[in-house]
Amino acid sequence: MKLFNYWRSSSSYRVRLALHFKALPFEYVAVSLIKGEQHEVSHRERSPAGYVPVLEVEEHGKPAFIHQSVAIFEYLEERYPERPLLPKSLVAKGQVRAMAELINSGIQPFHNLSTLNHLKTLGVDEKKWAAHFIDQGLAALEQLAKQHAGTFLFGDSFSWADCCLLPQLFGARRFGGNVDGFPLLTRLEKHCAELPFVKAARPDAQPDAQPS
Amino acid sequence: MKLFNYWRSSSSYRVRLALHFKALPFEYVAVSLIKGEQHEVSHRERSPAGYVPVLEVEEHGKPAFIHQSVAIFEYLEERYPERPLLPKSLVAKGQVRAMAELINSGIQPFHNLSTLNHLKTLGVDEKKWAAHFIDQGLAALEQLAKQHAGTFLFGDSFSWADCCLLPQLFGARRFGGNVDGFPLLTRLEKHCAELPFVKAARPDAQPDAQPS
C-alpha cells in the first residue's frame, strides 16, 4: 500500500494512526499542500478533488485509489480486521463512528486549508473563526467522552475515535482553539502520546516534516 | 426504531432514504430545528450536541441512540444487509463512501443551520458563502461521477452515495448553488425522483413539512 499524504494534514494523521495501530506496512508518499502538489495532474488522477490522504491499494493486480479518511479507515478495518479499531457491538460501533464524525464533519472542515484560504478573501479573522468551531465541537465531544470514555475515548481500547481525536487536538493548538477547557479529552491525549504507534504517526515524525 | 429528525434537514433526508430503500419500518419523530427543539433537555439526552438525525434502537431490551448520519447508515447496513446500499468489493465500497464523504464533510457542514447563524454574526453573505462551497464540492463530485456513474452515482445500483446526493442537490437549490453546471448529477437525480422509496423520503412528504 502507498499513502499519499502530508505530515501536517489532520486527516492524513488519522489514517497514519490507523495504519500504525494495525501494524500495516505502507509506502509514505509526501504531497506538499504548501507547494500546491495536490493540484498537480499526477495527483488529480488519484484524487479528482485534489485531496490528501489517498490510499493506493491493489485490486485484481491493478492499482486502485481510495480517498477520504473515513472511507480509507472502513477499508482498512474490513480488509485487516486483526487489530480492530471498532468495538464489536453494533450500537457501540455506531457510537465510535458518531464521535469520529463529530470531528470529521463537525470541526475539521472549518479549519482545513481551502476554507482558511476562502476566509482570507472575505476578510474574516481565520483564527477566531477556527476557534469558534473547534470550541463548539470539542465541547460536544467532551460531553460524549463523559458518557463513553475509559482509558481511551470509547472505553478501554484505542479506536477510530482516538484516531480522529489526536489530530483534532493537534489542529486545535495550531489554530488557536482553547484545549484547556476540555480536561477529559486532553487527559486521554496524554495517555495516547506515550504509545509507540502514536509516536510513529505524529506529524513531526514524518519524513516531510518541517521545523515549526 | 424511532427516527428523531426534521423534514428539511439534509442529513435527516439521507437517513430516510436509507430506511425507505431498505423498506424498514420506523416511527417518525419530528424535532423542529426552527423552533429550537434540538436544544431541549429531552433531545440533549439523545444527542449531547443537539443534532438531528438520531436513531433510537433497542439493545439488550433498552433504548440506545445513534447519531450522525454516517454512523446511522453503517449501523443499518450491517444490521439489515438484505437490501445493501454498498457494493460488494472493498475498493468499490471505498469509492462509494468517498463520494458520500465529499458531501458529508466537504459540502454540507458549510451550509448547515449553525454555520449560517455564525456567518450572520460576522456579516458574511450566507448565500454567496454556501454557493462557493456547493459549487466547489459538486464540481469534484461531477468528476467522480464521470468515472463511476451508471444509472446511479456509483454504477447501476442505488447506494449510500445517492442517499447523500439527493439531499445535497435539494440543499443546493435552497441555498442558491448552481446545479445547472452539473448535468450528470442532475440527470441521476431526475432518474431517482421517480422511484417510490425516494418519493416517500422527500422533505415535502414528511408529516412536519411546511409549505415553502
- Following DSSP, what letter does each residue of chain A receive, concatenated? -EEEE-TT-HHHHHHHHHHHHTT---EEEE--TTTTGGGSHHHHHH-TT--S-EEEEEETTEEEEEESHHHHHHHHHHH-TTS-SS-SSHHHHHHHHHHHHHHHTTTGGGGSHHHHHHHHHHT--HHHHHHHHHHHHHHHHHHHHHHHBSSSSSBTS--HHHHHHHHHHHHHHHTT--GGG-HHHHHHHHHHHTSHHHHHHSGGGSTT----
Q: Average pLDDT in the A45-73 region?
A: 93
Q: Is there a contact between B98 and A132 if contact means CB atoms under 8 Å apart?
A: no
Are the Cβ atoms of B71 and A140 closer than 8 angstroms? Answer: no
pLDDT of amino acid A35: 92
Cβ-defined contact of A70 to B110 (cutoff 8 Å): no
User: Would you say A45 and A67 are in contact if contact means Cβ atoms under 8 Å apart?
Assistant: no
Considering only CB atoms, which residues of chain B are within 8 Å of chain A? 48-50, 57, 59, 64, 66-68, 70-72, 74-75, 78-79, 89-91, 93-95, 97-98, 101-102, 104-106, 108-110, 114-115, 118, 122, 124, 129, 132, 136, 140, 143-144, 147
- Please report the ipTM that was assigned to this predicted complex: 0.96
Q: Is the pLDDT of residue A199 over 80?
A: yes
The answer, yes or no, to whether the previous bond of B53 is cis (omega within 30 of 0) is: yes
- Specify the length of chain B in residues: 212
Confidence band of A178 (pLDDT split at 50, 70, 90): confident
Q: Of A45, A70, A72, A99, which to mutate for an interface test with B (greatest number of B Cβ within 10 Å)?
A: A70
Q: Which fold has domain B2-82?
A: Glutaredoxin (3.40.30)
- Note whether A68 and A14 are within 8 A (CB): no
Q: Is the pTM of this model over 0.80?
A: yes
Distance CA A180, CA A134 (A): 12
Q: Residue A91 and residue B75: Cβ atoms within 8 Å? A: yes
Q: Give the model's pLDDT for residue B170.
A: 96
Q: Which amino acid belongs to residue B52?
A: V
Instruction: For the domain made up of A90-197, give the CATH fold.
Output: Glutathione S-transferase Yfyf (Class Pi); Chain A, domain 2 (1.20.1050)
B49 → closest Cβ in A72, A104, A140 = A140
- In the predicted structure, residue A67 carries a pLDDT above the cut 90: yes
- Percentage of chain B lying above the pLDDT 70 cut: 100
pLDDT-based confidence at residue A172 (cuts at 50, 70, 90): very high
Mean pLDDT of A62-88: 97
Q: Do A122 and B118 touch (CB under 8 A)?
A: no
Residues A128-136 have a mean pLDDT of 94
Indicate whether A162 pLDDT > 90: yes
B-chain CB neighbours of A57 within 8 Å are: 91
Spell out the residues 6+ positions from residue B96 whose beta carbon is closer than 8 angstroms to its own: B86, B87, B154, B159, B160, B161
Between the CA of residue B85 and those of A137, A205, B17, B90, B166, what are the distances in Å?
29, 39, 10, 13, 15
Report CB contact under 8 Å: A71, B144.
no
Q: Which residues contact A67 (CB under 8 A, 6 or more apart)?
A: A46, A47, A49, A51, A53, A54, A55, B98
Segment B72-94 mean pLDDT: 97
Q: Are strands A62-67 and A2-5 parallel, antiparallel or unpaired?
A: unpaired
Tell me what pLDDT residue A45 has: 85
- What does the pLDDT average to over A138-161? 96
**Mean pLDDT, chain B, whole residue set:** 95
Q: Which of B49, B124, B144 sits opposite A48 (nearest CB)?
A: B144
Q: Is the pLDDT of residue B179 over 90?
A: yes
pLDDT tens by residue, A109-130: 999 988 999 999 999 999 999 9
Q: What is the mean pLDDT of residues A171-178?
A: 86
What pLDDT sits at residue B1? 96
Please name the member of A50, A101, A147 whose beta carbon is closest to the beta carbon of B70. Answer: A101
Task: Return the pLDDT at A211.
Answer: 85
What is the grid cell recorded at B124?
458574511
Confidence tier at B48 by pLDDT (50, 70, 90): confident
- Distance (Å, whole) CA B87 – CA A95: 24
Percent of chain B at pLDDT exceeding 90: 89
Axis crossing angle, helix B90-104 with helix B160-174, rounded to the nearest 10:
20
pLDDT-derived band at A40, boundaries 50, 70, 90: very high
In angstroms, rounded to a whole number, what is the distance separating the alpha carbons of residues B8 and B52?
A: 11
* Neighbour-count burial for A61-87, b at 16+ CB within 10 Å, e otherwise: eeebbbbbbbbbbbbbbeebeeebbbb
pLDDT given at position A177: 75
Give the pLDDT confidence score for residue A176 in this predicted structure.
Answer: 75
Does residue A92 register a pLDDT over 90? Answer: yes
Label residue B178 by pLDDT band (50, 70, 90): confident
Q: Which residue from A45, A53, A77 is spatially nearest to A5, judged by alpha carbons? A: A53
> Nine-digit cell at A44?
488529480
| A90: nearest CB among B78, B101, B115 | B78
Tens-place pLDDT, residues B105-160 = 999 999 998 899 999 999 999 999 999 999 999 999 999 999 999 999 999 999 99
Helix (H) or strand (E) holding B57: strand B54-59
User: Where do the domains of chain B lie?
Assistant: 2-82, 90-197
